[in-house]
Structure 1
Amino acid sequence: MIDIVSPGTYTYGSLVLGGVLRDRGHDIKITRKLESRGESVLLSLFSTLQLLDPKIRDFVAERGNVCVGGPVSLCPEMVLGELNPKAVVSGEGEDIVAPLVENGPEGLAGVAYRHQGEIIKSPPEPVGSLDHILPLIPDDLGQQNVRGANVYIETHRGCLGSCTFCQVPRFFGRSIRSRSIENIVDEVKEMKRLGVKRVAISGGTGSLFGYRNKINREAFVEMIRSLSQILGKRNLSVPDMRVDLVDETVLEAVRDYTIGWVFFGLESGSDRILRAMRKGVTVEDNLRAVELAKSLGVKVGGSFIVGYPGETREDFEETMSFVEESMLDDVFVSIAEPIPGTPLSAQVLDMPKDVLALYQEHQGEYQALRLSEAEARCFELMLQGEGCKPVPRALSQDLYNAYLDESRGQGRDIKRVIELLEKYRDVLPH
């Protein structure tokens, strides 16, 4: 028996690999719990913080026959150093998962492992086709809730963007590879048959589905219309979009065939910071996309990053003003996190800590709360977002405390990530 362990959340990749091994004739069990009785274990990890989780560390140590994969494996030396698994899959796993569990890691592309104390690794190779057999769908997938969906499915891989903080183009490349609509439809039909009700489409930017030198609007519309006919529009979402990759056709399809929301990675109201992030868009582009979506009856959520290296108080004030002007239906705020393998991680490691907002003591309005400057900006922008919605929500003490706890928690977690990066600075990809 082979166990696939996806702690806390069933990742889409774990379901796909389960399907590959099932059709290979293996007895497969997939679980969100840190437990296993299998002869081999595949551990799917998506967050750097999972490498520091003592329960995950103990699980790998106790089992001894664990192979690790997922986005966290872009720096396999870090995974090997923190968890000491049997092997790490540092790229796409569909083509190599079966030989890995059947014969071991030797000679496989995109696999790292220790041999006589030395780390052996080879560069990953992309899979030939993203069309795959049906994933392994656990009985309780329909009970999972990830941002309102039971599961995020993948329609394509790759991203055209060069955002400094994003791992997607470093993991999957900048060429867009799409699945066929037929393959996606078959998968969603099977998921619905097995109890899945709500599906979200991922891939970085939904409108890149079918991309070949230009946005393939026809393919995108046909794809979400087909899925809407299976699930109903109330159960389908295409959340993540770049503002420079939407137009009236794309947004009208989101309105007509999904829950009617789009989430833009707006990141900042400062053109200077957007350039530093290599977003490839301007504040004016962001505002234009928000206004277009609203004019077509699409609700808009926006994500923002604060505490980015070099962000001044003036830059942050411009972001506050943008949130006030745009009147977003929802606002998500994150402190800049240096994900291993991204340009941001290299930038953070090259800077003295005392110039990073995360390590500066906040001296402003929230000084009594003993926050770092990055935490204070996160907290302040969360509060601003609530007050600038089309229908503002009353700021209760519970909501105030929840945002305060979230801001502190983000600051604490990112400091732990930076400490881990410092430990492996000599082997991190740039």
Structure 2
Amino acid sequence: MPIDHLMKTVIISPGIATYGAMLIGGVVRDAGHEVRLSTALNAGDADVVLLSLFSTQHLMDPAIRDFVAGVRASERPVYIGGPVSAYPEYVLGELAPDAVVVGEGEETVPRLLGRGVSPDLPGIAFSDGGRIVITPPAPPVPVQYRPLPLIPDDIGRQSIRGANAYIETHRGCTGACTFCQVPRFFGREIRSRNLDEIRKEVRAFREKGAVRLSVSGGTGSLFGYHGEIDDDAVIALLQMLAEELGPKNVSAPDIRVDAITDEILEAIRKYTIGWLFYGFESGSDAVLRQMGKGVTVAQMHEAVERSRQHGLKVAGCFIVGYPTETTEDYEATKEFIAEEMLDDVFVSVAEPIPKTPLADLVLRTPHERNPVYAPHEGEYRSLRLTEAEARWFDLSQHADMYKPLLHVVTDEVFNMYLAEARKQGEDVRRVTALIERYEKGGDER
């Protein structure tokens, strides 16, 4: 339906005020619209609702589905954007919004608010009489200069892995990990922001009460990248953040093991909380190749050694239950953790994000050969876990045993790990069923 130029808008990011929602809020505000940001499913008196969804699980959330239906029943438009827009057919099929903003939304959203759904508007998807229309993509957005985000007044109370917010320093990733949608969403070319613009943004967050900020953008050390790591650019970024926030209030996580230099590691020690979060994913070279990580276990060991030479704490992220992961592959991951005695460990069951190579692999893998479905027949058999769930449960306890500081697995911790293992397994099976329904027509295998 036609829409007036100026709209009273609410942007909803369920549960967490994400950076993407704040950024779009700033764009909408500077376009002249009245806008507010909410983490609750509450449209209030808004003329139009923008939902910023960052997880495939959101598509299967009955509360979100009912909310969208209720807003549309009140004859107010609902638009959905965020990372889920990488698979707009799923969003339209599951939640039935008026349109999906596909990809980067800074230019598309204001046009959508001003003109409404139109087949000549780039970067959207919508249903037309049961037929899904996906318009040509909008061009990549210049990121050097842009409006300040719409920052909530209570941002200082939010905690995402210890930070009040993750701020974007660049877009794109040079990697090609099969389970990740970052290079598929933003591209593999690195687009870095202007340093002074980032400083203005940091000050705006600080004025709203933010105490600790974290560097986002996939791999933090790719800021300023032009074919090779730019030490000076990364160091200048971290130094600026420390000047604005204090060095103990800056976090620079999520770095690839092949994207570090001694100069950057020293800057991380000097200007941040002193932690690194590496996406190791597996201790098996075979699985790393299947994941498209582009690194080896030897490089992982070297990265840990170099980081500790600079006095840094090292945390690692690992994925279990990859469709091709064998018992030997999993044991190699346990050996890596035991050898390196990481300061912290985060474990995930491999979740196939739609439209990624991992999702294609899952579709080709019969359930009986997929660790997410295959029953565990080992030492945790009495717990009735799948193989992937058992590996999550086992690796979490194993990692606690090898952390430098003593971690005791009490009954409470045991039960917490058990519940989380089952939840992750169930979440992945729900996503897998969703992918099968859209990509294979729900065929039984």
- State the TM-score, normalized to the length of structure 1: 0.98
1:150 corresponding residue in structure 2: 164
1:101 corresponding residue in structure 2: 113
Specify the SS of the correspondent of 2:33. coil
| Candidates 70, 84, 101, aligned match of 1:89 | 101
How many angstroms apart in 2 are the aligned matches of 1:350 and 1:131? 43
Deviation at 1:130, TM superposition (A): 4.2
**Structure 1 position 40 matched with structure 2 position 48:** yes
Higher alpha-carbon deviation: 330-339 or 111-120: 111-120
Specify the SS of the correspondent of 1:19. helix
Letter in 2 for 1:285: Q
How many angstroms apart in 2 are the aligned matches of 1:232 and 1:123? 44
User: Against the structure 1 CA distance between its residues 5 and 368, is the aligned structure 2 distance closer, same or farther, given a 3 Å change threshold?
Assistant: same
Do 2:144 and 2:197's aligned partners in 1 also have CA atoms closer than 8 Å? no
1:382-426 deviations in whole A, cap 9, x for unaligned? 011100011221111111111111111100110000011011115
Do 1:79 and 1:88's aligned partners in 2 also have CA atoms closer than 8 Å? yes
1:232 corresponding residue in structure 2: 246
2:130 corresponding residue in structure 1: 117
| Candidates 222, 225, 228, aligned match of 1:211 | 225
Do 1:170 and 1:341's aligned partners in 2 also have CA atoms closer than 8 Å? no
2:27 corresponding residue in structure 1: 20
1:10 corresponding residue in structure 2: 17
**Pairing of 1:188-267 with structure 2 (within 5 A):** 188-267=202-281
Deviation at 1:123, TM superposition (A): 3.4
Specify the SS of the correspondent of 1:243. coil
**Structure 1 position 276 matched with structure 2 position 290:** yes
How many angstroms apart in 2 are the aligned matches of 1:248 and 1:129? 28
| Candidates 414, 425, 436, aligned match of 1:400 | 414
Deviation at 1:128, TM superposition (A): 2.8
| Candidates 171, 174, 180, aligned match of 1:160 | 174
Letter in 2 for 1:96: T
1:90-125 deviations in whole A, cap 9, x for unaligned? 110001111101111312222001122211112322
How many angstroms apart in 2 are the aligned matches of 1:295 and 1:209? 23
**Structure 1 position 342 matched with structure 2 position 356:** yes
Letter in 2 for 1:68: I
| Candidates 55, 76, 88, aligned match of 1:76 | 88
Number of matched pairs: 427
1:55 corresponding residue in structure 2: 63
| Candidates 413, 427, 434, aligned match of 1:420 | 434
1:305 corresponding residue in structure 2: 319
1:267-305 deviations in whole A, cap 9, x for unaligned? 111111111111111100001101110111010000011
Specify the SS of the correspondent of 2:376. coil
Gaps of 5+ in 1: none
1:185-220 deviations in whole A, cap 9, x for unaligned? 000001101111111111110000010111111011
1:351-406 deviations in whole A, cap 9, x for unaligned? 11110011111111111111001100111110111000112211111111111111
Specify the SS of the correspondent of 1:191. helix
Do 1:4 and 1:29's aligned partners in 2 also have CA atoms closer than 8 Å? yes
User: Against the structure 1 CA distance between its residues 350 and 288, is the aligned structure 2 distance closer, same or farther, given a 3 Å change threshold?
Assistant: same
Letter in 2 for 1:112: A
Percentage of pairs with the same residue = 52
How many angstroms apart in 2 are the aligned matches of 1:172 and 1:68? 18
Specify the SS of the correspondent of 1:244. coil
How many angstroms apart in 1 are the aligned matches of 2:371 and 2:86? 26
Deviation at 1:25, TM superposition (A): 1.2
Specify the SS of the correspondent of 1:334. strand
How many angstroms apart in 1 are the aligned matches of 2:366 and 2:144? 42
1:383 corresponding residue in structure 2: 397
Do 1:357 and 1:372's aligned partners in 2 also have CA atoms closer than 8 Å? yes
1:322-369 deviations in whole A, cap 9, x for unaligned? 000011000111111100111000110111111001111111111111
Letter in 1 for 2:19: Y
2:3 corresponding residue in structure 1: none
How many angstroms apart in 1 are the aligned matches of 2:229 and 2:63? 44
How many angstroms apart in 2 are the aligned matches of 1:94 and 1:314? 46
Letter in 1 for 2:63: K
**Structure 1 position 128 matched with structure 2 position 142:** yes
Do 2:284 and 2:332's aligned partners in 1 also have CA atoms closer than 8 Å? yes
Specify the SS of the correspondent of 2:388. helix
Do 2:154 and 2:208's aligned partners in 1 also have CA atoms closer than 8 Å? no
Specify the SS of the correspondent of 1:358. coil
**Structure 1 position 31 matched with structure 2 position 38:** yes
How many angstroms apart in 2 are the aligned matches of 1:406 and 1:426? 29
Higher alpha-carbon deviation: 77-86 or 116-125: 116-125
Specify the SS of the correspondent of 2:415. helix
Specify the SS of the correspondent of 1:241. coil
Moved over 3 A (4+): none
Do 1:18 and 1:28's aligned partners in 2 also have CA atoms closer than 8 Å? yes
User: Against the structure 1 CA distance between its residues 394 and 280, is the aligned structure 2 distance closer, same or farther, given a 3 Å change threshold?
Assistant: same
Letter in 2 for 1:117: G
How many angstroms apart in 1 are the aligned matches of 2:347 and 2:20? 26
How many angstroms apart in 2 are the aligned matches of 1:247 and 1:389? 25
1:238-282 deviations in whole A, cap 9, x for unaligned? 111000001211111111101000100001111111111111111
How many angstroms apart in 2 are the aligned matches of 1:278 and 1:341? 15
